[in-house]
Amino acid sequence: MKKHTISIAVAAILGSLPVTEAVAQQQGAEQVEKIAVVGSRVSGRSAEELPVPVDILDAEALQNTGQTEVGRMLQAVAPSFNFSSSSISDGTDALRPATLRGLGPDQTLVLINGKRRHQASLIHINTSVGRGTAGTDMNAIPAAAIKRIEVLRDGAAAQYGSDAIAGVINLVLKDSAEQGSAALSYGEYSEGDGETLNLDLNKGLALGDEGYLNLTFNYRDRGYTNRAGLHGSCQFPGCTTLADGSLLAGDPRELTAPRDTFRIGDADSRQIALTLNTGYQLGEGELYAFLTYSTRDNESAAFFRHNANTGGNTPLQDGDATIQMGFLPKINSQIDDVSYNLGYKVDFSNQASLDLSYTWGENRIDYETSDSINASYANTLRYEQGMSAEEIRASIPREADAYGLELTLQTLNLDYTKEFDDFSLALGAELREDGYKILPGEEYAYRDYDTVNGVSIYSGMSGGVGSEDASGGIQGFPGIAPASSVDETRNVMSFYLDAETDLSDNLRVTGAVRFDDYDGFGHTTNYKLAANWFVTDNLSLRGAVSSGFRAPSMQQLYFNNIGTQFVVNDQGVLVAQEVGTFRNDSNLAQAIGIPELTEEKSQNWSVGAIVKLFDEISVTLDYYAIDIDDRIVISNRLGKGLSSTLDAALDASGAGAGQFFLNGADTETRGLDIVSTWNTELAGGDLDLTFAANFTDTDVVRLFTPQGSGLETVSVDQVFSEQDISIIEEWQPDSRLSLSGLYRQDSWDMTLAFNRYGEYTVTDGGMQTYGAEVLTDVRFRYHFSEDISISLGANNLFDVTPDENQIGNSRGGTIVDAQGNVVVSSPGIFKYSRRSAPFGFNGAYYYVGVEYRM
């Protein structure tokens, strides 16, 4: 096993400098990665010479998972990382929340080649893990472009700025000037859906004798999955409730109506991605750049609108619904993500370096709602244009552009490092501009044609049919009106200083301080101190203490709309509700005294140990504590009747309920990370074993509402519901354990991995704890030559699914005909929890792939 050494300050490990290669100490010829501390067949997972835990996950480790998405790859190999699934949660269906150490998606900083990555423009508004937060789209970067992923599992805001409360994830792009590969894989789930075709092309090219150009192309086509239960409630009017609770069908169409009306599972998705990474020796330094681009089309489904839904599928003159057999609205999103970086780094003869770089990034999501209607528009066609029911059905639009979201990030970095005999120094400055836009949709997508200035204009005109006051906006995913459009920017200025020194032969100490000044809430200063004590050659102890912060995201500051959310009422029934999300400077928020958002503040400390046994086994243990004050959370959906001030504000807005972003919670997180590796020879081959575990517990220790606001008379338990607290504390597994082995012999190798997901609890009209489950992944690869290989594998080999859902269900019931024969009997459409599913609920996935290495 080769041992690598650090040659830069801890401050520059992940954030300050572009990742390059340096000359090793061994005879001055061996090249190593500057941050790669341990190298072996299994890439060193924890950087043993650092005072904080860092996982180094190379391209082979990611590939051996058999996954095609970076988020799923990370979840398979890094137990502290969670990539939860939810369904019928609007944009969250297509862009999943990624979390570290059980915290929020926005409390982990993501970097590309050590440069700050922009967030996704989506904010998770519906009820899912990460509700009220905005994270980074981990799947926008193709895995084939990644050389390694570095996961810093420690608070690092003092080093890298906002968001790094839970840690830092750095994606390092491939930089080979010669190597390349072409890989094609196909797989599907055991139920025959979710067919996935993935094509990767990567090639490195030399730019003369002084540079490289590495190019990657990815095409991924993933079909949707569906694990919905049967529609057991009545779809047509006229049902009668019998003494035993069953329903007697009235309309004869009820007896033959389709019962697989919902689509609950992964969204249909097609992505094209391109990545370029380049460097060229120019003068005394290196000119470097990277470009990433991806475009992804997704289609997910909303709630089925049946015939008897008079608000969403309004009856016409003949008394029948506009769409007689009902309709399933589709949410179509196009996610375009692009970034580029240009920089120049020069190394001086006195062991100093200077790095100047500029990075720009943008994430844009455009939503279209299809296979739907604006129910209120049917009234316009009827009462204003005098159309017949037949004419309305033939002419009513079925799709509309809902709205667009756009987030941009520009950063200018200047970094300087200097190496002394026993001291390292890094300092730098950053200028940043955040931008955020909400682009309004078509009128048909958002307008309520039944209402003018808050007054119904068709009330009582139906003659008993019931078409007045139908729901406005296109059903399933309503649009955003021009009045809610946004175009905002924010400037940030930062300075940092890092230092590292060896106080003795066996004690290394590091420190960092950072100053950040934001438009809006002002400035903040944060620090970090860390140390590593090399007790013996086989034992070292490490620890760190730091303060941190997370600035309010642009989405939390400025997102606003009024849309339909399905919530559980006091009777435990899932009902539709028009909910407004109001920005803090809106008229409604100001009317009830909601204050401006300020930064979240954290205190982190950790202690750990690294133990080597028998020269082949390495074990690391790290205990951590993360206390966050003034955590930004989104409130409960507050309806009328709580306060006169709120009632008046809601009346003026046109929403039935409102939710707001508030600094409203203090939380405490405690956890333990364990990583152990063992490399040995077995039966003529090489065996590499890795055991990793994460145990995390987060508690909300205080909830509060703003002093002097119109919410002071409202109970805190109403402003923040039991479900809001549960999302933070319980919706992610309390533990993750993984045991994986890679065995190589001659021309074949095999990967076998066991991943255990611990218990998690969901509150959704009731409370249910979902038990721990173990998933088994296996991958077999045969090399026909040095260049060509074929692989077969299965993820979740034994078709494990979460416990079946017992709460928050919908559309359940038993329907019988006139003779008492059961037409359908179903507990509901949500066979599994749609709110949180840490490993999904699709079941076993089988795949085959072929790879050619150039």
pLDDT at 828: 97
At 750, which amino acid appears? M
pLDDT tens digits, one per residue of 118-138: 999 999 988 899 999 999 999
Residue 28 makes CB contacts below 8 A (sequence gap 6+) with none
Instruction: Let me know: does 849 contact 184? Beta carbons within 8 Å.
Output: yes
pLDDT tens digits, one per residue of 585-639: 887 788 788 888 999 999 999 999 999 988 789 999 999 999 999 999 998 888 8
Both tokens assigned to 792 = 């077969």
pLDDT at 608: 96
Residue 187 makes CB contacts below 8 A (sequence gap 6+) with 195, 196, 845, 846, 847, 848
- How far is it, in rounded angstroms, from Cα 185 to Cα 790? 10
Q: How confident is the model at residue 575 (pLDDT cuts 50, 70, 90)?
A: low
Across 166-175, 536-545, 569-578, least confident range: 569-578
Average pLDDT of every residue of the chain = 90
Q: What is the mean pLDDT of residues 347-351?
A: 89
Exposure of 186 in the CB half-sphere (CA atoms within 13 A): 1
pLDDT tens digits, one per residue of 139-174: 999 999 999 999 999 999 999 999 999 999 999 999
Q: Which of 117, 78, 125 is nearest to 97 (CA)?
A: 125
Give the bridge partners for 401, in sequence order: 368
DSSP 125: -
Higher pLDDT, 773 or 54: 773
pLDDT tens digits, one per residue of 86-98: 999 989 999 999 9
Q: How confident is the model at residue 566 (pLDDT cuts 50, 70, 90)?
A: low
Q: What is the mean pLDDT of residues 529-544?
A: 94
pLDDT at 453: 75
- How far is it, in rounded angstroms, from Cα 671 to Cα 678? 24
What is the percent of the chain where pLDDT is above 90? Answer: 77
pLDDT at 19: 32
pLDDT tens digits, one per residue of 758-775: 999 999 989 999 999 999
pLDDT at 649: 76
Residue 546 makes CB contacts below 8 A (sequence gap 6+) with 154, 155, 156, 157, 158, 512, 526, 527, 528, 529, 530, 603, 604, 605
Helix, strand counts (H, E) of the chain: 11, 44
Residue 25 makes CB contacts below 8 A (sequence gap 6+) with 5
Q: How confident is the model at residue 397 (pLDDT cuts 50, 70, 90)?
A: very high
Complete domains list, the chain, with CATH: 2-228+263-802+837-853 (2.40.170.20)
Q: Would you say residue 13 has pLDDT above 60?
A: no
List, as one string, the DSSP characters of 709-753: STTTTS-HHHHS-HHHHHHHHHSS-SEEEEEEEEEEETTEEEEEE
Residue 384 makes CB contacts below 8 A (sequence gap 6+) with none
At 16, which amino acid appears? S
Higher pLDDT, 19 or 813: 813
Across 141-145, 281-285, 773-777, 841-845, least confident range: 281-285
* Total-model pTM: 0.92
Q: Would you say residue 786 has pLDDT above 50?
A: yes
**Phi, psi values for residue 794, rounded to 5°:** -145, 130
